[in-house]
Amino acid sequence: MLSTLYLLVAAMAFMPLLIQAPEPNHRQYFANVPKTVNKTTFPMDLKVNRTSDMVFVKCPGRKYHHRIESDDFTVHDTISDAKFKIIGEKNITIWVPLMKTSSRPERTNCGRLGVNSGGDSYIKYDWIYNVNFKGTLNAKDITVKEKIVNTVEVDHEKCIANGGNTLIFTKKKEGGIMSVKPYPTELESPYVYQMFYYFKIPSENNNYIIEEPCGIYKAYSDSPQIIIPSHETFSNTEESGKIITISIEGAQGAEKNFTVQLQLKDNPNFYRGEKISLTKMRYLEGGPNLINNSKSIITSKFNIKGFELIQMQYVHEGKTNKETITKKYFFGPSSIEMKLDNVTVPYVKGDKYGQPNCSNYFMTIGYLEEIVYNREKYVKGASSTNEKFKKSEDFYFLKENSERKIFLECIYRTPGGKITTRTNFVVKESEKKIETSSNLNINIYNAYNLLLVSSLFIMILRYF
């Protein structure tokens, strides 16, 4: 009887221990965070395993208690005010998407952890992650190119095992993270190479801090057309290799600005901001040739100074292959047969390089086709032309003649028609007059020296 009473008393003594609720211990949800936190715990370095540019990061929620119930946590405003977040059912954890924006680690401030050090005393720690996106596993094995029109699929082929229980996020072209609703909801301003990240909805009960995407779709579409909207529209029957002529009004040296687009028929803005190469060209008898070291990269705006011939190119990536899209533009006169005003040029007979001539090229946009002299046309390369003119380097010089005034018309073929220059070559004054002028300069020089010597002589006399 006595032993039974003893056991009963002993059992009653242990009852408070048995019915006492265990202290909450939420650090189990954060495997990388130690039980004892100190000033060296944060910021904590985290690494993304794959080369993905977007992940989910887990932060403590407002009901998080690290070791004991009296520990607390204050969520940072950037987390509590985040447009996209997943708050756990018990408000112990919060998941937020994080996008890579530079080559440096991305810094995430979850908030402030309060560790109770006794009574009402707390030691505060800023719960900060430095997330390194330099993963060693390539994300290509979960990335699939998908032809995008205006919607995305509900599921990703790499996430099928998740039964459609996924979240889809993407990055806006102009910057910032955006949540995506799948088909049939239309996408907001889709663009080429846009990445759609599919995530399994993370559980509150797991202990890892980073959730990587289970699948990625990379957007592509049909090949675009290069279009200058102010002068042309999208065409279903665009002629390959054709040089498009755009009239330039006003002076030849005037600078004009233009806008270029890569257009799809049903989505003119899909390729916005893509890089287009622009190379200047020279128009020759055999066709246009690229000018070395004249290539530049543009996205939407470019300028033309005077008359120019250019080539634009864009490299389009399809599902498996690449295709170079090329288009040539000639910015020239509004008239297909432009005639420039007469110009008078003096020359000295016998001067090897000063004789009446026609250049073989007009700027970079035309090559010499004919010469008109004394109302007779001389076709370049014809025997009659070779009898009358001598070719030297890039010029056709008129051979010996006795005329004091010579009128030449040089006719150039351009991509858009013809340009004719008209020049009056006039013989300079006689060699005798030129020599007299030279002697006059010598006399003036000698007179100046004589005056200088006289002045010095007078100064010497005054000194003595």
Question: How confident is the model over 353-383, as pLDDT tens digits?
Answer: 778 999 999 999 999 999 999 999 999 999 9
3-state secondary structure of 189: coil
**165/332 Cα distance (integer angstroms):** 59
Q: Do domains 225-332 and 337-427 have the same CATH topology?
A: yes
Per the DSSP assignment, residues forming a β-bridge with 178 are 170
Q: What mean pLDDT do residues 49-56 have? A: 89
Instruction: Give 434's pLDDT tier (boundaries 50, 70, 90).
Output: very low
Q: What is the pLDDT of residue 250?
A: 61
Check: CB of residue 92 under 8 Å from CB of residue 111.
no
Instruction: Give 157's pLDDT tier (boundaries 50, 70, 90).
Output: confident
- Would the pLDDT of 144 be above 70? yes
**311/303 Cα distance (integer angstroms):** 13
Q: What is the DSSP letter of 412?
A: E
3-state secondary structure of 7: helix
What's the CATH number for 225-332?
2.60.40
Q: What is the pLDDT of residue 188?
A: 92
pTM given for the model: 0.78
**225/121 Cα distance (integer angstroms):** 68
Q: What mean pLDDT do residues 233-246 have? A: 87
- Would the pLDDT of 445 be above 70? no
Question: How confident is the model over 378-425, as pLDDT tens digits?
Answer: 999 999 999 999 998 899 999 977 788 999 999 999 999 999 999 999
Per the DSSP assignment, residues forming a β-bridge with 80 are none
The H or E element containing residue 372 is: strand 366-373
**61/79 Cα distance (integer angstroms):** 9
Pull the structure tokens for residue 21. Answer: 């609720």
Check: CB of residue 25 under 8 Å from CB of residue 39.
no
* Domain range 337-427, its CATH number among 2.40.30, 3.30.70, 1.10.3470, 2.60.40: 2.60.40
First to last CA, the chain: 153
Pick the residue with more confidence: 37 or 348? Answer: 37
Q: What is the pLDDT of residue 221?
A: 96
Mean predicted lDDT score pLDDT of the chain:
85
Min mean pLDDT across 18-22, 187-191, 217-221 is at: 18-22
- Would the pLDDT of 146 be above 60? yes
**175/273 Cα distance (integer angstroms):** 13
Q: What mean pLDDT do residues 210-223 have? A: 95
Q: What is the pLDDT of residue 239?
A: 80
Pick the residue with more confidence: 207 or 22? Answer: 207
Domain assignments of the chain as residue spans, ordered by start: 26-220, 225-332, 337-427
**279/288 Cα distance (integer angstroms):** 11
Question: How confident is the model over 307-347, as pLDDT tens digits?
Answer: 999 999 999 999 999 999 999 999 999 889 999 988 899 98
